[in-house]
Structures are given as C-alpha cells and as structure tokens.
Amino acid sequence: MPILVPDINLRIIAPALIVTVTAIVVLLGELVTPAERKRWLGYLSIAGLVVAAFAAFSLWGANASGFSGMVVADNFGLFLTLTIALSAALSILLSIPFIHAHEIDQGEYYVLLLASVAGMIVMATATDLIVIFLGLELLSLPLYILAAFQREDTRSLEAGIKYFLLGAFSSAFFLYGIALVFGATGTTNLAKIAASLAQSAGSPMLSIGVGLLMVGFAFKVALVPFHWWTPDVYDGAPTTVTAFMSVAVKAAAFGAFFRTFQFALPALALDWRAVAAVLAVLTMTLGNVAALLQSNVKRMLAYSSIAHAGYILIALVAMSANGLSSALFYLLAYTVTNLGAFGAVIALSDGARERLEIKDFAGAAREHPLVALALTICLLSLAGFPPFAGFVGKFLIFGAAVETGWAWLAVIGVLNSLVSVYFYLRPVVQMYMSEPAEGWSGIRVAPLVALALLIAVISVIALGVFPAPAIALAAGGLIR
C-alpha cells in the first residue's frame, strides 16, 4: 500500500513555526544566559512574535490550505493570529519587570508562554477536529505550569492544580465529542462534516457529540455553568499570566468555536443556537452580578472576563458574516482593553507587593495621574462607553444579533452592560475621590510596563475613534 504523504505547506503554518522555533531558541538561551540578563530572553521572545506577526500579515488573503485540509491560512485565522501575537507581546512587556520583582525571572517563563502561543495559533487556524484538539492541548499544558509559576505561593500552586484538573476534565469531554462526531459522520474534517450534514440531518449520536464539543469549548472560554475554575485560577496565577490567559485563550478558543459551529454545523437538526443563546444569557448575567460582589480587582476582572465571553457568544448565536466579523473585532478590542487594565494594576503594584484590593486604589490618581487615567479609560472601555474600543465592539455584536432576529438577546446584553458600569467604576471612584492610602510614595512605574500601557491605551482609543480599518480587516475574515 503506498503511503499518503500529506501536502506539506510550511508557508501557511509559518507563524506557528516561527513562534515554536523562537521558543526553542529561548530555551537554549536560558542555559547560557546569566541570571541578571534574563530580560534579554523576553526581548528575544517579543522579536519572535513580531516576526510571526509579519509572517501572518504576509499571508493575508492567501486563503491557502495544507496538510490534507487540516490547517488553513484564511483571514479569519490570520486575524486571530495577529490578535494572539499582540496579546502575547504586550503580556511579555508587562512580564519582564513583573517576574523580576517576584524573583521568578527564568527563561522557562517565556518558553512556556511562546509554546502556548504556538498552540493558540494552531487552534485558530485548524480545520480538523483532531488538529483543534492538538492546539487546545498545546495551549493548555504550558498555561497549567504558568499558573503555578510562583512556586513559593500556595495560591499560585492551587491555581495551577485547579486549572490542570478541570482543564484535563474538559479535554476529555472535548475528545469524547470528537469521537462521537467521527462516529456519526465518519470524518473529523470540518468541511467534510459540513458536507455530510448537507445530505442528512444528523443523528442522536451526532447531537450528543456536538453537545460534548460545546462543553469542551465552554470550559476553555469560561461560559456559565462551566466557569467555576475561572475566579480561583485568575486570582491565584501570577498577574501577568492572568492577563495573558484572560485574552489570548479566549481568542484562540472562540476562533475554533466559531469555525466548528458556524462553519461545520450550520445544518445540524439540533438547534444549538438556542442552547448557545441560553448559555450567553446565563454567562453575561452571572458574570456581571458576581463581579458586583468582588472586593479584589483580579477576581472582579475574572468575573468580567466571564461576562465578556457571554457577549462574544451572542455573535455566534447570530451566525452571520457580520456576527463573525463583530466577534473578531470584539476579541481584538477586548484584548487591548483587558491587557491595559491588568497593565495598570501591575503598574500600581509596589515591587513584589501587589495592590489587588479595590480599596487599596484609594487616591492613586493624585500620585499616579497617568496610570489612573489609563486604568479609567480601560475600565470604561470594558463597560462599553464611547468613544472607546469596547463600545464599538458591543455595538457591532448587538447590531449583528438584532439583524438576525435575536433582538431580545441584544437587549439582555445591553442591560448587562448597564449593570457592569457599577463595578467597573468602583476602582475609578476609589482612585479619584478617596484620600490617598499609605505607601504610595516612591513607587516607580517600570518603563516596559509604561510602554505596554501606552500601546494598550492608544489602541483602545484608536479602535474606538477610528474603528473602520480594523472592522474592514475583520470583515475580510470570512471562514474559508
């Protein structure tokens, strides 16, 4: 029997390859770099991400597929690749001073982060359930370790263990879903699943498989009721890792989520859109209501990230071209906004001592007016105020929902945004209207953190004021 060698098309996986090679080089660099020069490994990682982003940009519009239709370089995947690379680069900028202050500056930190990025890119560009699973595992395993990277801190270890156990559990669900879908359709290729569904309406086995796939994705993007790990993991993990996890994992997992459901399963007899709509309502409502009750900024942002996953799910329910592009835009907007918010929280920390309680922010505006302004802008953007990126993102998503007859879902989304204003403004009120807390004097904001914050805030404002170019890019991101 002749062996079927798949069509090797290294060009279309160039971004993931470049990130992988960078990770390997950083791993070797870790062996020869003395302790006081570890930050150069961070710069090297950023350089690799920039090259990967250029590779992704050069593929724009190529719409090529390879490896027997398992991986594709379409604009949808490339947009997500760019978003993921941006979030990783900003996270590393925040991480270099952060892990130094916490005495965990080891090259392995960057290696794991880059490995996770490679997995995310694979997941966002995969068109086969097995490759999606491969990307899912590759992105998850390094994150389990990164969550527990502060080895001396029991809460960080707890976060790592919790994330690992629940993540492994969700992977099992996902894999079982793949098995059942394969049993029902005879293929794991998304295009072939779509073709097989066009001929027959599907079977109970397929419906159960699709349900399990949805559970697997829901775990990764933290949809209610599969969100229980999120607050504890986001709270315990090192703040920079939380920042990275909260944005990049969502971009990658939602990418595969949209590709699988909107592209492969539109003709499924079972109405998964109704299920997704219910999940979206639950996720938005519970995320926002729980965030109201938090006194810790990291936990508040964790619940807020749950709520934002709910908003993005509305775009999936809409299941239209506009829904798809609005989700891409929202993911980009959420990435820069949330990284900005976490960056400001990191900027306000005092060396290894972090200020994570909302009441600790009292009077920050007097001591650090620029950081306070940046945090205010990012929180307003998360709440969906114009003229910031979050507003445009919400506007596009709710617009897509109304267009396709899901107006009631959009109304619930708007109501939820109103609720969220209260808790997003609490740190702002503390910063501007309270007497300064003690210990503000002598805090220097690290230049790299300031740079990351500047990039994030400029992006938040630019995406809010001139959203047209980014919307145009996202609109070109039709799934191939």
Nearer to other proteins, 8 or 47 (CB): 8
- Backbone torsions φ then ψ of 319, nearest 5 degrees: 50, 55
Q: What spatial distance separates the first Cα and last Cα of the chain, rounded to whole Å? A: 32
Query: Within 355-414, which residues bind other proteins (CB under 8 A)?
Result: none
Task: State the number of binding residues for other proteins (CB under 8 A).
Answer: 9
Nearer to other proteins, 31 or 468 (CB): 31
The residue range among 2-10, 56-64, 147-155, 377-385 that interacts with other proteins, by the rule CB under 8 A, is: 2-10
Tokens of 219: 């775990």
CA distances from 458 to 155, 446, 448, 466 (A): 34, 18, 15, 11
Judged by beta carbon, residue 32 or residue 468, the one nearer other proteins is 32
Residue with tokens 């990164």: 146
List the x/- string, 43-82, binding to other proteins by CB under 8 A.
Answer: ----------------------------------------
Q: Least distance from C-beta 442 to other proteins, angstroms?
A: 37
Closest separation in Å from C-beta 3 to other proteins? 5
Shortest Å, Cβ 371 to other proteins:
38
Which residues from 411-450 bind other proteins, rule CB under 8 A? Answer: none
Q: Tell the smallest beta-carbon distance from residue 164 to other proteins (Å).
A: 15
Q: 118 or 455: whose CB is closer to other proteins?
A: 118
Q: Is 3 in the site for other proteins (CB under 8 A)?
A: yes
| 8 A C-beta contact, residue 236 and residue 228 | no
Helices (H), 250-368: 250-258, 272-292, 297-318, 321-347, 364-367
CB of 453 vs other proteins, minimal distance in Å: 34
d(Cα 125, Cα 135) in Å, to the nearest integer?
9
Shortest distance in whole angstroms from residue 6 CB to other proteins: 11
- Interacting residues with other proteins between 4 and 33 (CB under 8 A): 5, 8, 24, 27-28, 30-31
Kindly state the smallest distance separating residue 376's Cβ from other proteins, in Å: 44
Give φ, ψ of 446 to 5 degrees. -60, 140
d(CA 218, CA 237): 21
CB of 24 vs other proteins, minimal distance in Å: 6
**292 binds other proteins, rule: CB under 8 A:** no
172 binds other proteins (CB under 8 A): no
The answer to whether 236 and 155 are in contact (CB under 8 A) is: yes
- The interface with other proteins within residues 92-131 (CB under 8 A) comprises none
Given the complex with other proteins, which of 1 and 468 has the nearer CB atom?
1
Nearest CB to other proteins, comparing residues 27 and 461: 27
In the complex, what is the shortest distance from the CB of residue 8 to other proteins, in angstroms, rounded to a whole number?
Answer: 8
Rounded Cα gap, residues 279 and 284, in angstroms = 8
Q: How would DSSP label each residue in 100-125?
A: HHTT---HHHHHHHHHHHHHHHHHHH
Nearest residue to 124 (alpha-carbon basis) of 479, 440, 473? 479
Nearer to other proteins, 208 or 275 (CB): 208
- Of 148 and 446, nearer to other proteins (C-beta) is 148
* Least spacing, CB of residue 117 vs other proteins, in Å: 17
Task: Please say which residue, 24 or 172, places its beta carbon nearer to other proteins.
Answer: 24
Specify the residue, 114 or 279, whose C-beta has the smaller distance to other proteins.
114
Task: Please tell me whether residue 2 binds other proteins under the rule CB under 8 A.
Answer: yes
90's tokens? 């900003």
435 exposure class (CB count in 10 Å sphere: 0-12, 13-18, 19+): exposed
Q: Which is it for the CA torsion 76, 122, 260, 330, positive or negative?
A: negative
Q: Does 468 bind other proteins (CB under 8 A)?
A: no
> Which is closer to other proteins, CB of 30 or CB of 158?
30
Question: What secondary structure does DSSP assign to 392-444, as a single string?
Answer: HHHHHHHHHHHHTT-HHHHHHHHHHHHHHHHHHHHHHHHHHHSPPPTT-TT--
Residue with Cβ nearer other proteins (33 or 285): 33
CA–CA–CA angle 124, 121, 231 (5° rounding): 80
Closest distance to other proteins from the beta carbon of 18 (Å): 15
Q: How far is the CB of 31 from other proteins (least distance, A)?
A: 5
Q: Which two tokens stand for residue 41?
A: 């490994």
Rounded to whole angstroms, the Cα distance separating 13 from 21 reads 12
- Binding segment for other proteins (CB under 8 A), chosen from 3-11, 66-74, 150-158, 451-459, is 3-11
Look up residue 118 and give its two tokens.
């490679």
Which residues in this chain contact other proteins in the complex, by CB under 8 A?
2-3, 5, 8, 24, 27-28, 30-31
